[in-house]
Amino acid sequence: MAKSRNEHRKEHFLDAYKIPHPEWREFVCGWGAAFINITVTFPINKVMFRQMLHGMHTKTAFMQLKSEGFRFLYRGILPPLCQKTISVSIMFGMYNHYQQVLNSMVPHWNTHIKNSTAAAAAGLTEAVLAPFERIQMLLQDSHYNQRFKNTAHAFADLRQYGFREYYRGLTPILLRNSISNALFFTLREEISHRMPSQDHWTGKLLSDFCCGAMVGAFISTVFYPVNVVKSHMQCTVGGPFNSLWKASRIVYEERERSLRKMFFGVHINYTRALISWGIINASYEMLRNLLMKPHH
């Protein structure tokens, strides 16, 4: 039987653009790097979250967590372990994959444009995991300590409000993920090329840590107000869905129209990002060297 015109077109497309398969090692390296990071930095992240949500000082947030006890210190760690490990896995894995796709389909594009596009697309792909970030926000908020027992209970409880409730705060997540990813991979590459070459593995590890720390801390600080607004949007259960612009105005009014108060907690966020992205970048490169060498 003769092939249809659509089948011929499909074959021609696949022949013209030899779309590569995703490299599983990139996903594994991203997952492992995020797992190492989350277990180390979760308590710091929780202090920062309380400052974001309530506009309190570091000492007040720290004392609040201390009064709640160790039982609640790691409460809410399961969602970021699920979300962040898979998210960073997607971030590095899909970035590598989209790079290969663009190199096959549009080889004439400028390298920086292709890399930025691949990074932004990877960031948008990560947004499918927004429900885990949403549940993490609820479990970290002390107002819901008695309402939600654990991650599974929080997921089940939100079901009564409809599927859309799981994706409350999606707009700032899409904005943050796409632009921050493009900046991260662009700056990471530029800085790594300018770092002194290292022969010993310890020097390489330190170099990768410093590179990731500088880039991550810068981007995290720039997008801090976006995360503040996102946190407020996601810590609402039920009720109307505010636009990003309206939610920003509400938070700005709550902070007494003070731009400085929109950055409450930014210093601990900067410190966390220094440690977090330093660990992620160094761990990723270390795991990549271990997994890729036998392959190549």
- For 250-267, the pLDDT digits (tens) are 988 888 788 888 888 788
Report the C-alpha gap between 133 and 232 in whole angstroms. 13
Mean pLDDT to the nearest integer, 14-24:
64
In a domain, residue 237? The reply is yes
Domain count, the chain: 1
In a domain, residue 15? The reply is no
In a domain, residue 4? The reply is no
CA dihedral (250, 253, 254, 257) in degrees, to 10, reads: 140
Spacing of C-alpha 259 from chain mean position: 24
Predicted structure pTM score: 0.78
> What is the pLDDT, as a whole number, of residue 1?
45
Residue 296 has pLDDT above 50, yes or no: no
> What is the pLDDT, as a whole number, of residue 151?
85
Mean pLDDT to the nearest integer, 226-230:
91
Tokens of 124: 């948008």
What residue numbers bound the domain in which 128 lies? Answer: 22-295
Residue 2 has pLDDT above 60, yes or no: no
In a domain, residue 13? The reply is no
Distances (CA, A) of 247 to 168, 174, 180, 184, 196: 12, 15, 21, 26, 45
pLDDT tens string 30-89: 999 999 998 888 877 777 777 766 777 777 877 777 787 777 777 778 877 887 899 999
In a domain, residue 11? The reply is no
Lowest mean pLDDT among 66-70, 126-130, 170-174, 217-221: 66-70
Mean pLDDT to the nearest integer, 119-134:
92
Lowest mean pLDDT among 47-61, 160-174, 189-203: 47-61
Tell me the average pLDDT of the chain: 85
Which residues have C-beta within 8 Å of that of residue 4, sequence separation ≥ 6? none
pLDDT band at 173 (very low <50, low <70, confident <90, very high): very high
Contact 80, 129 (CB under 8 A): no
In a domain, residue 223? The reply is yes
% of the chain residues with pLDDT over 90 = 41
Q: How many CB atoms lie within 10 A of CB 150?
A: 13
CATH number, domain with residue 217: 1.50.40.10
In a domain, residue 3? The reply is no
% of the chain residues with pLDDT over 70 = 89
In a domain, residue 248? The reply is yes
